[in-house]
A and B are shown apart, each in its own frame.
Chain A
Amino acid sequence: MAEGGGGGGAMNPLHHFEIHPIIEIPPIAGVDFSITQPVLWMMIATAVVFGTLTFVAATLKRSPKGLQNFIEMTINFLRKDLVHAVIGEEGKGWFPFIATLFLFIAACNLLGLIPGSFTATSNINVTSALAIMVFVFVQFAGIRKKGLLGYMTGLVPSGVPKPILIIMIPIEIVSLLVKPFSLAVRLFANMLAGHMVIYVFLGMIILFKSIILTPLPFIGVVIMYAFEIFVALIQAYIFAVLTASYLSDALQEGH
């Protein structure tokens, strides 16, 4: 997004979200691989998730305590209440993908709450990449299971008269293409809006120019921070649940 910094006046909360390269890498075959802030923080999120899970798996105990207990609870929740409840038995193969989506997005969102860091998922490019990946995988799963023609005829409900079918087909195709778009925009806008509210509240402390009034926006900041932690986890869960739901739609037989 080309932000022009137009109507913000003295304070433009969007300038925190601009991307600058940290390590410049000259373009390889026309693609710019330089390490920018979202790239760095996505790598940190991956390292955190991977490191935690590997560390817990290295010393597994029969009666888990502490961190292992927490990780086991999370994995159990992802497996039972997310994949099995939504997709059912066929979903067993898709559990690693959906669990990885949830853990990666949750890590990215939560790491963005550390003051001075950059929320990788608050960039439309990152969330679009995730959404396009989900879209491609879902189509691939549906076409692999039912064949190309079977998948396309499975998009519209069976047993509708012909005239309605002519209207239904564009509607179904549009609704199919809107799903990844809505996934990307939902995650991106939630992260962007949440963090921008925090920045605006902090800006109000400077705007008021008085010591006495400072506690008011400060309380607002604390409340919004708590809400943002909640929203970070909920949005990761929503992304994973919607992915599982689209998968189950593509994999099911008939309508």
Chain B
Amino acid sequence: MGLLGAAIGIGLAALGTGIGIGILVGKTVESMARQPEMSGELRTTMFIGVAFVEALALYALVISLLLIFVKG
């Protein structure tokens, strides 16, 4: 049961993260197309945003690892 929970957990987390990062990068590309001179700043902000969104998926990864590898 622990393995099943771990798999479902990380799957859902990957789903949410995929949507979140997809929206984020899409908006960044759109803004870069509108205003190419701001590209550097936009890219930096995008990386910070991606790190925030990925951190949420990594919380789920840590819980999944706990479920798989720690007995009892």
Distance A188 CA – B66 CA, assembled complex (angstroms): 14
Central interface residue in B48, B65, B69, B70, by most chain A CB within 10 Å: B69
CB-CB under 8 A from A4, the residues of chain B are 69-72
Tell me if B3 is interfacial: C-beta within 8 Å of chain A.
yes
Cross-chain contact A7 with B58 (CB below 8 angstroms)? no
Tell me if A88 is interfacial: C-beta within 8 Å of chain B.
no
CB-CB under 8 A from A186, the residues of chain B are 51, 54-55, 58
CB-CB under 8 A from A1, the residues of chain B are 66, 70
Cross-chain contact A185 with B69 (CB below 8 angstroms)? no
CB-CB under 8 A from A241, the residues of chain B are 48
Contact partner of B69 (CB less than 8 A), chosen from A3, A81, A182, A189, is A3
Q: Which residues of B contact A (CB under 8 A)?
A: 2-3, 44, 47-48, 51, 54-55, 58-59, 61-62, 65-66, 68-72
Distance A224 CA – B55 CA, assembled complex (angstroms): 19
Q: Mark A1-41, 1 if CB is under 8 A from B, else 0.
A: 11111111000101000000000000000000000000000
Known: A6-B70, A189-B62. A182 touches B55 (CB 8 A): yes
Distance A142 CA – B72 CA, assembled complex (angstroms): 43
Closest residue on chain B to residue A3 by CB atoms: B69
Cross-chain contact B69 with A8 (CB below 8 angstroms)? yes
Distance A235 CA – B55 CA, assembled complex (angstroms): 11
How many chain A residues have a CB neighbour from B under 8 Å?
A: 25
Cross-chain contact A234 with B47 (CB below 8 angstroms)? yes
Contacts A8-B69, A189-B58, A241-B48 aside, 5 further interface pairs with beta carbons under 8 A come to A3-B69, A4-B70, A6-B71, A188-B62, A193-B61
The binding surface of chain A is classed by DSSP as helix
CB-CB under 8 A from A234, the residues of chain B are 47, 51
CB-CB under 8 A from A8, the residues of chain B are 68-69
Q: Which residues of A contact B (CB under 8 A)?
A: 1-8, 12, 14, 81, 182, 185-186, 188-190, 192-193, 234-235, 237-238, 241-242
Cross-chain contact A189 with B51 (CB below 8 angstroms)? no
Distance A188 CA – B71 CA, assembled complex (angstroms): 21
Cross-chain contact B51 with A238 (CB below 8 angstroms)? yes
Known: A185-B59, A193-B58. A14 touches B51 (CB 8 A): no
CB-CB under 8 A from B48, the residues of chain A are 238, 241-242
Shortest Cβ distance from residue A11 to the other chain B in the assembled complex, whole angstroms: 12
Q: Would you list the 10 A-B pairs with minimal beta carbon distance, nearest first?
A: A189-B58, A4-B71, A186-B55, A238-B51, A7-B68, A6-B71, A3-B69, A4-B70, A189-B62, A14-B69
Known: A182-B55, A186-B55, A238-B47. A2 touches B61 (CB 8 A): no
Distance A70 CA – B36 CA, assembled complex (angstroms): 27
Distance A241 CA – B68 CA, assembled complex (angstroms): 33
Distance A7 CA – B4 CA, assembled complex (angstroms): 11
Shortest Cβ distance from residue A99 to the other chain B in the assembled complex, whole angstroms: 17
Cross-chain contact A12 with B69 (CB below 8 angstroms)? yes
